[in-house]
Structure 1
Amino acid sequence: MMMQLLLVDDEMNVADTLADTIPWHSIGIDTVHKAYSSAEALNLLNMHEIDIVITDVRMPEMDGLELARRIFLYWKHIKCLLLTAHADFEYAQAAIKHNIQGYMLKPIDDKELVRQLSAVVDTIRTERENESNYNRAMAAMRHHLPRIQAELLQSLLQGTRMTETKLAEQLKLLELPVGIGQDIFMMLVRFKERLCDYNSFEISLMEYAIGNMAKETFQDHFDTWYCRDVHEYLAFALIPRDASDGSSLEHLNRLANQFQMNVQRFLKMPISVLSGQAGRFPDEVTKMYNNLLLLFGRRFGDDKDLPVYIAGRGEMAAIGTLVSLYEPPLFVHLMEAGHWEAVSAKLHAVMNELETDWSESSEQLTEAFFAIFSAFSYIAHKSGRNLADLIGAEYVLGKELQPARTVKHLREWTVSVLDTFRRNARNETRSARASAVKEAQKFIISHLSGDLSVQMISDVLNMHPAYLSRLYKLETGENISDYIARLKMEKVVLLLKTSTKKIYEISIEVGYQNPHYFIKLFKKHFGFTPQEYRNMNM
């Protein structure tokens, strides 16, 4: 990665001497240009891909600082170094900006010039490498942009929530033309042919073709954003281009029919299309989608001949679901991962929604109970236990479903059962940790004469060394390396008191092949050498 340099000085001999005497190529400079005025320098900058400019400060007509300012204005990637006399030092120092990397005093010291210029070259290389990595990442993202856009829409359809700030950042990054709080329309498209008769590549081609057809059909009035949902439907978010246009629904009705006919005519794919009323993005996206799913079954059923249906406002308002119970992450997944605080927060959200929106609905209350009960059962069975044995008296099936009578009863029951699960999980974790510590200690004791290390012990226990060290410290309050050293020293003390073995023999017996190192460790631990300790205890 060679670079081009421009030397600017109204003293021709200074520019010529620098150009001829400095080993530019060894620094990373391939081509050196010379200019004897700022005007000439600007001409050369327009003609060549300059990377670095070294300019004198004091020059007639346009000085070096003004030249640097213009360079920063028009060629922000170019780095500048200033040449200044002692008389101008404070003036130049105070003016360091506009991508000026530093300054050098005249007469110029060649070594200092090479040092500063090498640093600038390294800076440019780093910037180019970072820019290259960024461009590669952006190119990869753009290549996969439709898939990533579809994944975001699918997660929103399933009820995933995020902060407005985070969602706005994602919408901008993915170049999606929808704003927080904007009214949008939803549309579902169902293939009339059996998708199981096609392979994944063929299905992807069908999706791509229909997505492009939708974009072409709706583009005058709507931006389109789509994904394939879990039911094998194509779900479209239709975003009005003109929010002030009150005829968006009218356009939608007309274009939905046109879209269905275009797909039938040009792609030879029979489809059914269902669209509904407008809703607020993102708050009402999941509700709109679930409404359309239910209406699809009601209005189309298994009929393959009905092409298009536009849902009325009354139909959209009549359907509701217990949103917080089914929005991801699901209750069972949070329990499976042991995220107990998140589990409690989700249960709290479900109970609040029941109290606020479904206080008169015993059906939603029963639905919530069975969904939570099912999750509890799954987690219990996965751990090899029966739910009835785990929660005891709180097991309520066969007792008239008392927790499903009121939200208060359900809240109390779920809190109690969740506490039982949490305690059980903590006990299992403690038991597993204690077992791992005991296994480590057993191995250490039986291999005390060897050259023990945390890596060796972790390999035997199939654990990462960092995890083993952290776990041991949490459980015992002592570092595992300190435990090993303590046991070795305890054995040394015993041998010093009860045997006549020489010091070097004891050193080897407890795993220290270097007696001098062993003596140093012993003295650090006890304050005496091994021989001094033996003499005191004879």
Structure 2
Amino acid sequence: MYKAVLVDDEDFDLMGLQRLIPWESLGIDIVFSTNKPLAVVDYIRNHKIDILISDIKMPVMSGLELAQLSLQLHPGLKTVFISGYQDFEYAKQALKLKADGYILKPVDDDEIVATLQTVVEGLDARPKEEGDASLEDFEFIRNDFLLHLLEGTIDDVTLTAFLRKYPIEISFHKAHAVIIEVDGTAKKGKVTEADSFEHVFSLVKDYAADRAIGLICRLSPNQIGMIYTGEPDQLENGLNHLLDEIRGKSSYTVTIAYGHLAEPISCLPDSFREARELIACKMFLGKNRIIPPGAPQQLVVKETKDVNAILDQLFTAITDYMLVQICDVIEELFENVRGYAEPGKVYHFSTHVISRLEGYLNTAGESINSLTDWKDGGFADVERFETIDDIKSWLRRTAFELSEIMYMKKQKRTWKLLPEIECYVRTHLSGEITIKNAAVRFAYSPNHFGVLFKEQVGMSFNDFVVKERMNRAKQLLESPQLKVYEIAEEVGYNSLTYFSRTFREMFGMTPGDYRKQG
């Protein structure tokens, strides 16, 4: 597989390219995709790539500038430009860079596939031996070699020739294939922050080297491969120590899966395929743990129940403010997916659940747009969840927020915390007051807090803060000993101009005029 980087400052175009092009069948692996050209610069400085596919006109750095820098770092790089600007100057500059493709938006799928096929053919036609690799390139070569070894895509003749040229010790005769996946990373082409992954990779590399237990390589932007060559009976113990090491020295956790012992070593690809299947079980078994062979047998398939009937129970519990029942029903609901063989089916099931929830709320005359996570995409971005427990946790929190909002509307009761919140604002007028800080102070999410506050007070939290500050300013203006700028600072304004403008907008006169009329 050739490694490619995809960059387009338009999120919609970027998503379309990620999902609509048959990358795998083309022999291309999108190892990094982003809408920020500078993020690509950081990535290519630390990773070897074969193809750069970039929009031409982007803010901060153009695709042409990005390609020039990329070619300096990787002289054999293939470049494909995509542009919505039918300007000859762009095409002319792209030709000067010897671009391998220039495609106009809107992108025609067949055209880009044909262009990429030509690029891949060009890469395939490169001489196998291109001279001695520099020390700087050695890590890339070593990584690719270990990946081929795990995948079983290197023959004995090539293996012997490679080992004669590069100093990699593989004197082992048996090994386990291990996959280490960084938790908390997004799916479908999105990657963890490069510096965070690099830190975890460094920890794993040092751990393996210090204990002489195997060789590691990069599998993807969030996965590390290991050929474990230590004592087989020490494997579980060693991997548990590695988990503790990463927990203690980084803000990330990892999930580790390993295959059966490969003996002889020619069986290593079978162990690797097993490890890949096991790491997919993270969706069902949870993260921040080790998944050994046989772990999927822990999954107990219960009798499938009528999902729609369970959803009706969930909606009733939300409407009636029955929080304990909400938890019970959600547990029952997701028992239906324990026997699914693929994470993709879980995502499909979850999308169905949230679609039904949207329909129910629309029927009830409610809106979900103000909920905590919905403004960031809600379940439209369902694949950001890595495990069933993540999905259940999100759904519980969402159901609780909805239930409380609907209950308060129905009962028209006063929010018990409102007097405390108003007191909090009035005693902090001279400092910084944000809805985020206030929400944390009273144990709410910012969006949920904002919805409840506006429901009770009839104005947004920020408008309430401004009103209280201006009312306090009026009181202070009655004291002639205080200067106007001192009053501005007393009610939380560092800018006298901004304070005066806000005061005038609220009361129809400047602070000075208000003081004079008094």
Higher relative contact order, structure no. (Cα contacts within 8 Å, ≥ 6 residues apart)? 2
Report the TM-score when normalising by structure 2: 0.30
TM-score (norm 1): 0.29
Larger radius of gyration: 1
